[in-house]
A and B are shown apart, each in its own frame.
Chain A
């Protein structure tokens, strides 16, 4: 990265293990994770559960300490200047962060006061954020009466109350209905513009990363495996993605495709067959013929420009979404 100013977040070789419990080997959540975030940008960390996304967020927000490695946020060392880092960051964790027995406004004012805002400033800022997140009508209702989408917006507002330099959003839209998700997305998009906040977002959703992030870091087994803008990552994959849905999973499918010229990176997961081709349209007839010849029944074929899912597949060696649905 060739950014003119110092990066808002720098993580260097972070390692963190958790006890495995009952004599089991420790679980290595982070295994030398490194990355940087340029000030004023949105970076999405993409990875399955257990890849190390939340552990990274916990370390960068001073909740957890790494076993080794260093990190700075807004130029402050998370280990040595924890207190100052806590003034500089806002955290929106995976779980709801509002006090259910306080109103939306009270939650915001308390969060602001803890950050050192004066009473007047905290109140003013609360009103501003309630308006901004379309919560003004519910401002004086207890947070426990909020819908899932409203509660999530309140969480984000709480994270923003002191105008943090870096906002951490840990799976901000998990569990939201599509409409609430779309609303939250527009708010997050406005953040970098209106508040000039740097955002680190972790997500399970490729479309979320594609839509919101200036850069994407794919995390697997505690390391960043690839990092770049969504477009640059996609364009690294030459050609088209060919997706074949088989009627039945069959071991004969992959050997059959090996004979198709111009087709590469074929992977079979259950009944889903993915491969890449210089020209998808030209490859499809040959793919179908080869599968038919091998006696493998096909239910559908699609050809697409590469998606982030293909990028993920390429670098992690497994498709992204299949297991996530269950998770």
Chain B
């Protein structure tokens, strides 16, 4: 009988450093999501086609707003103006859906099985936001490619592209964390999608992502100052312009980073609330 409890210890006991475990688990779960995406080629293709359509569609639809008095995009075309906007918008809309993976895991027994295993809760959040960020990076580069092919030119060069990628990834982290937290709290697909849409659409439109807020009503300008989507669009656009004003870019990236950290932390906390409901 006493042999039973000592039977064949297969495992490296939980003596492993928590930080190492956190990183390893994050990597496993990111790989799981990426692999799953690559196995759904139609879905993977849509994640790339959608931002291209938005870029070309909005680029045509609102082409002439650039002539509205007060629209102060220094030089260049509306396409150049909305390229960073569409990139941020794509990150925003894709990440709003992030929580649906959790709901699927809950509807199956995957979530309970993981939570009954010594998985790092933080890594569960990082796994999904890292996956969203990887998707965002690919989408961003594709949108830049299409914009370039359509004649857009960006004076900001490599640093401009880098800032855009970082800003879009931070928006992904913020929104995916939010979506995950909501998923853990409401535990229902319809409710998650409803809440996500309710938040995402206003964030999109009360920002400078496709419209210069200087031609918007004053209240929009005021509200936009507190809107992370506006921070990301404004920072990316400034970084892509000639003579980048880093005083515009860096504080906004800093705020986005802080918000991303806070939102991921809140999402990790939401696991406790979820487990209390079990």
Contacts and interface: CB of A to CB of B under 8 A. Distances in A.
Interface residues of A, number: 53
Contact of A84 (B2, B10, B14): B14
B24 interface: yes
B1 A39 contact: yes
Contacts of B108: 95-98, 100
A195 B36 CA distance: 32
A64 B35 contact: no
B116 A62 contact: yes
Contacts of B114: 114
A83 B18 CA distance: 11
Given A86-B118, A93-B112, A116-B14, A64 B1 contact: no
A295 B58 CA distance: 84
Given A40-B1, A86-B118, A114 B13 contact: no
Nearest to A109: B28
B32 interface: yes
Nearest to A161: B10
B142 interface: no
B61 interface: no
Contacts of B5: 5-6, 8, 39, 74-75, 165
B35 A101 contact: yes
B13 A196 contact: no
A188 interface: no
Contacts of A97: 108-110, 112-113
Nearest to B278: A64
The residue among A75, A84, A96, A97 with the most chain B CB atoms within 10 A of its own CB is A97
Interface in B1-17: 1-5, 7-14, 16
B117 A142 contact: no
A117 interface: yes
A170 to B, nearest CB: 9
Contacts of A102: 32, 35-36
A311 B264 CA distance: 52
B159 interface: no
A87 interface: yes
A162 interface: yes
A110 B257 CA distance: 30
A113 B28 contact: yes
B8 A163 contact: yes
A121 B3 CA distance: 22
Given A87-B11, A125-B10, A99 B36 contact: yes
Interface of B: 1-5, 7-14, 16, 21, 24-25, 28, 32, 35-36, 39-40, 107-110, 112-119, 275-276, 278
6 contacts: A3-B1, A8-B4, A39-B1, A75-B5, A96-B109, A114-B118
Interface of A: 3-6, 8, 38-40, 58, 61-65, 74-75, 83-84, 86-87, 89, 91, 93-102, 106, 110-111, 113-118, 121, 125, 142, 155, 158-159, 162-163, 165, 195-196, 198
